[in-house]
Structure 1
Amino acid sequence: MKQRGQVVIDKIIDTAERLFYTQGYSNTGINQVIEEADIAKASLYNHFGTKADLLVAYIQRTHDRWFNRLESAVKQVADPKDKLLVLFDHHLNRQQIRQFGGCPFIKANDEAGTSDPRVLSEIQRTKQHSKDFIKRLVANSGHQQLLTDGELAELIFLTLEGAITAASVFKRAADIQSARKIIQKLI
């Protein structure tokens, strides 16, 4: 059972996650978070000194949850090459759930990545974690060696990031599916 403090923290971050993702960090006020989380102002400030502190906590928790889901999806697949393709399937599923709203980390970066170095650092950590994970999958994939492991890992990362962006702009699955097919030909 969660302690009361953790319940309040989760309630605050749950509310911030929904608001930051749907209406943006800049368009979300602390008072709105307090009101929609149904907490006292003091409760928020006991756990988060500033709105930027709340954003950093949101990024960290979103990253942890995102990576756990991704790792779980990859572990369900036995074929090393198919593990690379699951990256696309997983991201497509997440975008469908989020109604093609785009990457939460890129959205946060666009709004606050230059104004607070902690935000930028967390987002960079998230994206580097993704790159490192892809590199490990590539190294174990037995791919065709048309590219080096490093080149293929970078290509997959950049293709995936671009496909997510395109899917969020055009609000459709086709861009991520197309990127998956291209990578499938290279592995």
Structure 2
Amino acid sequence: MPRPRERILSTSLLLFHRQGYNRTGINQIIEDANVSKASFYQHFRSKDDLCIEFLNRRYEYWVSELEKFISGAQNLEEKILKSFDFLIYMNEKEDFRGCSFLNILSEIPAEQVEIHHVLRYHKNKLRDFFMNEIKDEVLSDHIYLLFESSILTSQLYRSNELIEKSKSIIKSILTSSH
């Protein structure tokens, strides 16, 4: 059986992603992880501390899955398009639950500064991914914005239709930028 800290984290990974941050209480995490309240607080000072660890773990998981998914791409266009195919893959795998980061962002007030800092940090890393691949700030930001909006709209409509439209836009943009 995994150690209490790992059980708490794996439980929160599941519950925060599936139910959301505010709808998941510490007591549910403690019960589902089969740990004592004392054990929970031995590993995490607060629910916010657990949330930060959740965001870091979720990002590591998501990026490793993305990297595996796009690893066979032969060129820049294929890599970018495959990153959008990855969104389709994740929607099918996770039933259009959307981005854990944006979901949590919508649930917490601005006063929870540490969580907001972690959210921005990881979103900036995603933005940097596109910049490192594309090497053109305006173009990479355009594609990053399409990527983020594709996540949101696919969750909203429970459809991959606008991801496919974003891919068409990207093909057009990349063709005209050459």
Q: TM-score, normalised by structure 2?
A: 0.92
Task: Tell me the secondary structure at the aligned position of residue 25 of structure 1.
Answer: coil
**How big is each residue's C-alpha offset from its partner over 1:76-101, in whole Å with a ceiling of 9 and x where there is no partner?**
21222211111101122112211111
Residue 139 of structure 2 corresponds to 152
Aligned pair partner of 2:94 in 91, 95, 98 = 98
| In 2, Cα distance between equivalents of 1:80 and 1:23 | 36
1:60 alignment partner AA: N
Which 4+ runs in 1 deviate beyond 3 A?
none
Alignment of 1:106-185 (within 5 A): 106-112=102-108, 114-139=110-135, 149-185=136-172
2:168 alignment partner AA: K
Which shows bigger deviation, 165-174 or 10-19? 10-19
| In 2, Cα distance between equivalents of 1:116 and 1:126 | 16
Q: Does 2:73 match 1:77? A: yes
Task: Tell me the secondary structure at the aligned position of residue 3 of structure 2.
Answer: helix
Task: Tell me the secondary structure at the aligned position of residue 28 of structure 2.
Answer: helix
**How big is each residue's C-alpha offset from its partner over 1:49-75, in whole Å with a ceiling of 9 and x where there is no partner?**
100000000001001111112122222
Number of aligned pairs? 174
| In 2, Cα distance between equivalents of 1:137 and 1:101 | 27
| In 1, Cα distance between equivalents of 2:60 and 2:141 | 22
1:167 alignment partner AA: S
Residue 17 of structure 2 corresponds to 21
Percent sequence identity over aligned pairs = 28
Q: TM-score, normalised by structure 1?
A: 0.88
| In 2, Cα distance between equivalents of 1:113 and 1:126 | 18
| In 2, Cα distance between equivalents of 1:106 and 1:78 | 31
| In 1, Cα distance between equivalents of 2:80 and 2:102 | 22
Contact kept? 1:102, 1:168, Cα under 8 Å: yes
| In 2, Cα distance between equivalents of 1:134 and 1:113 | 29
Residue 146 of structure 1 corresponds to none
| In 1, Cα distance between equivalents of 2:66 and 2:18 | 22
Structure 2: gaps (5+ residues):
none
Task: Tell me the secondary structure at the aligned position of residue 17 of structure 1.
Answer: helix
| In 1, Cα distance between equivalents of 2:147 and 2:45 | 35
- Relative to structure 1, is the Cα distance of residues 129 and 113 closer, same or farther in structure 2, using a 3 angstrom cutoff? farther
Per-residue deviation, 1:157: 0.6
Residue 145 of structure 1 corresponds to none
Residue 38 of structure 2 corresponds to 42
Per-residue deviation, 1:27: 1.4
RMSD over aligned CA atoms reads 1.5
Structure 1: gaps (5+ residues):
140-148
| In 2, Cα distance between equivalents of 1:52 and 1:112 | 10
